[in-house]
């Protein structure tokens, strides 16, 4: 796994051994966060991965004004999804930087991993990760069932607590926010959002997950910038 700059045109600059994302960029983004974010206001930190030209980019960003500021990133030396060790490696510097802030780590269905959620909970970090519809859960006093078997219809919201997630891992004492939005970007949605979280209620969880759209805007900005 390597850590070149987010825009590949800066590669010669960052190739100097004394310069790196950790040594040069992290102090800058830390200053920006201190300047623009109050410690009494919650931050939303989004994990995402995208295939950009020949690069498999994995990035963690803080959401600001419906955009995202990249905090830390890696270009994975493979195609396809990131794994738990890669996710932990990317998140550790972010967790250290934001230890005095109230923040939530959010991610789409690539980050549905029970192991990642369990690790973040052990680190004392709040999370909201969208789950795949075929994920198995167990509610108190009930048998295991797939998320898609929950009785939901467009417009419905549910917040389930004390949920055990997946038969094999059995990660319990977490919550699941379910929301079937009627439309998104003027189109009907085929299925609900199923969001695994350790936040306390439905409204907090939905606000956190909705905030992650800022990273999609950042990717679009980068594409327009570098072509």
- Digit-coded pLDDT (tens) for 157-172: 999 999 999 888 778 8
Task: Answer for the pair 44, 104: CB distance below 8 angstroms, yes or no.
Answer: yes
The answer to whether residue 129 is domain-embedded is: no
Q: Tell me: pLDDT of 55 over 60.
A: yes
The answer to whether residue 179 is domain-embedded is: no
Residue 152 — pLDDT band, cuts 50, 70, 90? Answer: very high
Q: Which residue has the higher pLDDT, 8 or 78?
A: 78
Domain that holds residue 32: 1-108+212-227
The answer to whether residue 127 is domain-embedded is: no
Distance of alpha carbon 110 from alpha carbon 212, whole angstroms: 13
Query: 176 pairs with which residues across the strands?
Result: 160, 196
Task: Answer for the pair 198, 226: CB distance below 8 angstroms, yes or no.
Answer: no
Beta strands 103-107 and 43-52: pairing type? parallel
On average, the pLDDT of the chain sits at: 84
At 146 the pLDDT is: 96
Distance of alpha carbon 171 from alpha carbon 51, whole angstroms: 30
Task: Answer for the pair 219, 50: CB distance below 8 angstroms, yes or no.
Answer: yes
Q: Which residue has the higher pLDDT, 11 or 82?
A: 82
The answer to whether residue 142 is domain-embedded is: no
Number of folded domains that form the chain: 1
Q: Which residue has the higher pLDDT, 215 or 201?
A: 201
At 170 the pLDDT is: 77
DSSP state of 222: H
The answer to whether residue 56 is domain-embedded is: yes
At 10 the pLDDT is: 39
Distance of alpha carbon 220 from alpha carbon 118, whole angstroms: 32
Q: Tell me: pLDDT of 225 over 50.
A: no
The residues, ordered by sequence, that sit 6+ positions from 119 with a Cβ below 8 Å of its Cβ are 84, 88
Report pLDDT digits (tens) over 18-35: 456 677 888 999 999 999
Q: Which residue has the higher pLDDT, 45 or 220?
A: 45
Q: Which residue has the higher pLDDT, 208 or 56?
A: 208
The answer to whether residue 192 is domain-embedded is: no
The answer to whether residue 146 is domain-embedded is: no
The answer to whether residue 92 is domain-embedded is: yes
Distance of alpha carbon 33 from alpha carbon 43, whole angstroms: 10
Task: Answer for the pair 99, 124: CB distance below 8 angstroms, yes or no.
Answer: no
């Amino acid at each position: 796994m390597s850590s070149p700059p987010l825009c590949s045109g800066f590669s010669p600059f960052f190739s100097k051994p004394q310069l790196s994302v950790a040594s040069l960029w992290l102090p800058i983004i830390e200053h920006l966060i201190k300047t623009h974010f109050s410690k009494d206001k919650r931050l939303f930190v989004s994990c995402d991965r995208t295939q950009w030209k020949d690069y498999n980019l994995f990035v963690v960003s803080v959401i600001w004004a419906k955009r995202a500021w990249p905090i830390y990133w890696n270009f994975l030396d493979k195609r396809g999804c990131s794994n738990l060790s890669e996710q932990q490696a990317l998140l550790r510097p972010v967790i250290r930087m934001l230890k005095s802030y109230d923040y939530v780590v959010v991610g789409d269905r690539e980050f549905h991993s029970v192991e990642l959620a369990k690790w973040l909970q052990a680190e004392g970090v709040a999370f909201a990760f969208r789950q795949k519809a075929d994920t198995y859960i167990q509610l108190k006093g009930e048998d295991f069932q797939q998320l898609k078997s929950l009785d939901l219809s467009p417009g419905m919201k549910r917040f389930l607590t004390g949920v055990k997630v997946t038969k094999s891992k059995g990660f319990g004492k977490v919550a699941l926010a379910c929301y079937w939005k009627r439309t998104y970007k003027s189109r009907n949605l085929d299925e609900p959002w199923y969001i695994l979280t350790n936040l306390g209620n439905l409204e907090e969880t939905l606000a956190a997950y909705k905030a992650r759209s800022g990273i999609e805007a950042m990717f679009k900005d980068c594409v327009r910038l570098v072509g």
